[in-house]
Structure 1
Amino acid sequence: MMSDTDNKEATTLSRQHVAAYLQHLAAERRLSPNTLESYQRDLLFLLQATEECGKALADAVASDVRDAIVKLRKKSLSPASVARHISSWRGFYSYAIQRFGYLNNPCVGQKGPKVKRALPKTLSPDSCAQLLDGKKEQDIDSNVLLARDHAMFELLYSSGLRVSELTGMDFIDIDLKAGEARVTGKGSKTRVVPVGRQACKAIKTWLSWRQTLLGGNDTPALFLSSWGRRLSVRSVQMRLDHWVSQSGLGQSVHPHMLRHAFASHMLQSSGDLRAVQEMLGHANITTTQIYTHLDWQHLAKVYDSAHPRARRSKPVGDTENS
Structure 2
Amino acid sequence: MTPGVAVDTWLAELSDQRRLSPHTVSNYRRDLQKLQVAMGETSLASVQVHHVRRYIAQFHGQGLGGRSLARTLSAWRGFFAWLGERGLVQANPCDGIRPPKSPRLLPKALSVDETARLLAPFEDDDPVQGARDLAMFELFYSSGLRLAELVSLDCDVLDSVAHEGEIRVLGKRSKLRLVPVGSKAREALATWSAVRDGLARPGEQALFVGQRGGRISPRLVEARLTRRAIQMGLPTHVHPHMLRHSFASHVLQSSGDLRAVQEMLGHASVASTQVYTHLDFQHLAKVYDSAHPRAKSK
What amino acid does structure 1 have at the position aligned with 2:24?
Answer: T
Contact 1:14 1:47 in 2 (8 A): yes
Paired with 1:122 and 1:169, the residues of 2 have a C-alpha distance of 24
Give the corresponding residue for 1:8: none
Identity %: 50
Following superposition, the deviation at residue 133 of structure 1 comes to 1.6
Distance 1:104 1:23 in 2: 23
Matched, 1:119 2:103: no
Q: CA deviation at 1:18?
A: 2.3
Cα distance, 1:236–1:47 mapped onto 2, change above 3 Å:
closer
Q: 2:18: which partner in 1?
A: 29
Matched, 1:250 2:235: yes
Aligned residues: 295
Q: 2:183 aligns with which of 181, 197, 203?
A: 197
CA apart distance, 1:231: 1.2
Instruction: Indicate the residue corresponding to 1:213 in structure 2.
Output: 199
Instruction: Name the aligned partner's letter for residue 208 of structure 2.
Output: F
Note closer, same or farther for the CA distance 1:79–1:203 as it changes in structure 2 (3 Å cut). same
- 1:55-91 deviations in Å (ceiling 9; x for gaps): x323322112122223323433233322222221112
Structure 2 CA distance for aligned equivalents of residues 134 and 219 of structure 1: 27
1:65–1:269 CA distance, 2 compared to 1 (3 A):
same
Q: Within 1, Cα distance between the matches of 2:27 and 2:54?
A: 21
Select the residue among 68, 78, 90 that pairs with 2:65: 78
How do 1:49-128 residues align onto structure 2 when only pairs under 5 Å count? 49-52=38-41, 54=42, 56-100=43-87, 102-128=89-115
- Cα distance in 2 for partners of 1:120, 1:249 equals 17
Partner of residue 163 from structure 1, selected from 143, 147, 152 = 147
| Structure 1 residue runs without a partner (length 5+) | 1-11, 314-322
SS of equivalent residue, structure 2 residue 164: coil
- Supply the distance in 1 between the matched residues of 2:282 and 2:209 (Cα, whole angstroms): 38
Would you say 1:301 and 2:286 are equivalent positions?
yes
Structure 2 distance, partners of 1:226, 1:49, is 44
Q: Give the C-alpha shift of residue 247 in structure 1.
A: 1.2
Whether the 8 Å CA contact 1:184–1:191 is kept in 2: the answer is yes
Distance 1:73 1:212 in 2: 52
**Partner of residue 30 from structure 2, selected from 27, 36, 41:** 41
Task: Please state whether the residue corresponding to 1:111 is helix, strand or coil.
Answer: coil
Distance in structure 2 (CA, Å) of the matches to 1:301 and 1:66: 42
Cα distance in 2 for residues equivalent to 1:65 and 1:248 = 48
Where 1:182 maps in the other structure, the secondary structure is strand
Q: Distance in 2 between matches of 1:144 and 1:48?
A: 49
- For the 8 Å contact 1:173–1:183, the answer to whether it is kept is no
Judge conservation of contact 1:267–1:295 (CA < 8 Å) in 2.
Answer: yes
- With normalisation by structure 2, the TM-score equals 0.90
Q: 1:223 aligned to 189, 208, 213, which one?
A: 208
Amino acid of the residue matched to residue 172 of structure 2? K
Counterparts in 2 of 1:45 and 1:146: CA distance versus 1, 3 Å: closer
Alignment correspondent of 2:169: 183
> 1:16 matched to which residue of 2?
5
Could you tell which deviates more after superposition, 282-291 or 70-79? 70-79
Q: Are residues 1:144 and 2:128 paired? A: yes
SS state at 1:177 partner: helix
Q: 1:271 to 1:98 in 2, by over 3 A?
A: farther
Moved more, 234-243 or 260-269: 234-243
Residue range with higher mean Cα deviation, 144-153 or 258-267:
144-153
Q: Which structure's CA Rg is the greater one?
A: 1
Amino acid at match of 2:77: R
The 3-state SS of whatever aligns with 2:96 is coil
Most deviating of 242-251 and 85-94:
242-251
- State the 1:295 CA deviation: 0.7
**In 2, Cα distance between equivalents of 1:265 and 1:255:** 16
Root-mean-square deviation over aligned CA pairs = 2.2
**Structure 2 unaligned spans of 5+:** none
Report how far residue 202 of structure 1 moved. Answer: 0.9
> Any idea what SS the aligned residue of 2:168 has?
strand
Tell me how far 1:51 sits from its aligned partner: 4.3
In 2, the alpha carbon distance for the partners of 1:70 and 1:245 equals 41
